[in-house]
């Protein structure tokens, strides 16, 4: 998942964070950095999970891109920090849940959150989001997404077929039975027109 559309969406839709939105994740640094302006959010793409292929002759896998957002709040007043967390969490849901980071993704969904740590100066809270998309194209006119699709794209176009039929019976008694006798009983062709 490209992180830039997520950052842009958060910066546009989360005024409480006042553009203190960045990427990366160093929990020790976030916990100890007392000069960091709060509230702040740090976004990371943390994993992609793949389902089993749903087809036999093409690739159709659902991939789930997982996204993590860590909120850093001033916890010098713990009750106020938890109240602020409650408000910010709702603001993040309004910004991300239902947002499509790209045309081929399903809308982003929320997958829960948890408290990472709290001390006298910092509260860190992690929120999980995910968005799914399909690996494997739907139409042959779409660009190849897998090696198999690329290989199929390299094949010549199907222009027609010629069928030659050598029937098993009646078989030539001088040859091994049963089996074709080597004489063509029927030949036909068909051309594909577009």
Cα angle 36, 41, 43 (rounded to 5 degrees) comes to: 125
Cα separation, 163 vs 144, in Å, equals 32
pTM here is: 0.74
Q: In this structure, is residue 96 part of a structural domain? A: yes
For residues 107 and 56, state if they share a domain: yes
**Residues 126, 172 within the same domain:** no
Task: Give the confidence band of 171 by pLDDT, cuts at 50, 70, 90.
Answer: low
The runs of H, that is alpha helices, within the chain are 4-13, 27-32, 78-96, 147-153
Q: Are residues 30 and 81 in the same domain?
A: yes
Do the beta carbons of residue 65 and residue 75 sit within 8 Å? Answer: no
- Any domain includes 148: no
> Longest C-alpha distance within the chain, in Å?
101
Residue 10 pLDDT > 70? yes
19 & 113 share domain = yes
**Residue 151 domain-assigned (yes or no):** no
CATH number at residue 99: 3.30.2000.10
What whole-number distance in Å separates Cα of residue 64 and Cα of residue 106? 10
Give CA–CA dist 82/71, Å, rounded.
Answer: 11
Residue 153 placed within a domain: no
My answer on whether 124 and 170 are in the same domain is no
For the chain, the domain total comes to 2
Say yes or no: 165 and 122 in one domain.
no
Percent of the chain whose predicted confidence (pLDDT) is above 70 = 88
Is residue 190 very low, low, confident or very high in pLDDT (cuts 50, 70, 90)?
confident
Query: For residue 56, what are the domain limits?
Result: 4-135
pLDDT in tens, 98-143: 999 998 899 999 999 999 988 888 889 999 999 999 888 877 788 8
Same domain membership, residue 184 and residue 110: no
Residue 12 shares a structural domain with residue 73: yes
Structure confidence by residue, pLDDT tens digits, 150-169 = 888 888 888 888 998 887 76
* Residue that wins the pLDDT comparison between 141 and 14: 14
Is there a single domain that holds both residue 129 and residue 175?
no
Q: Is the pLDDT of residue 68 over 90?
A: yes
Same domain, 166 and 131: no
104 and 20 in a common domain: yes
89 and 44 both lie in a single domain: yes
């Amino acid at each position: 998942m490209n992180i830039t559309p997520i950052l842009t969406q958060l910066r546009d839709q989360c005024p409480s964070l006042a553009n203190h939105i960045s990427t990366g994740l160093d929990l020790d640094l976030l916990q100890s950095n007392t000069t960091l302006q709060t509230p702040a959010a740090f976004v990371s793409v943390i994993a992609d999970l793949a389902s089993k292929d749903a087809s036999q002759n093409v690739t159709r896998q659902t991939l789930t891109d997982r996204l993590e957002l860590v909120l850093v709040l001033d916890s010098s007043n713990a009750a106020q920090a938890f109240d602020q967390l409650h408000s910010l969490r709702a603001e993040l849901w309004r910004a991300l849940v239902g947002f499509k980071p790209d045309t081929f993704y399903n809308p982003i969904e929320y997958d829960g959150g948890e408290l990472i740590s709290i001390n006298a100066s910092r509260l860190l809270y992690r929120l999980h989001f995910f968005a799914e998309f399909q690996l494997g194209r739907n139409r042959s006119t779409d660009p190849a997404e897998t090696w198999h699709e690329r290989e199929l794209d390299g094949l010549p176009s199907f222009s027609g077929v010629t069928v030659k039929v050598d029937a098993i019976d009646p078989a030539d008694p001088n040859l091994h039975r049963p089996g074709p006798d080597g004489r063509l009983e029927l030949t036909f062709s068909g051309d594909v027109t577009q």
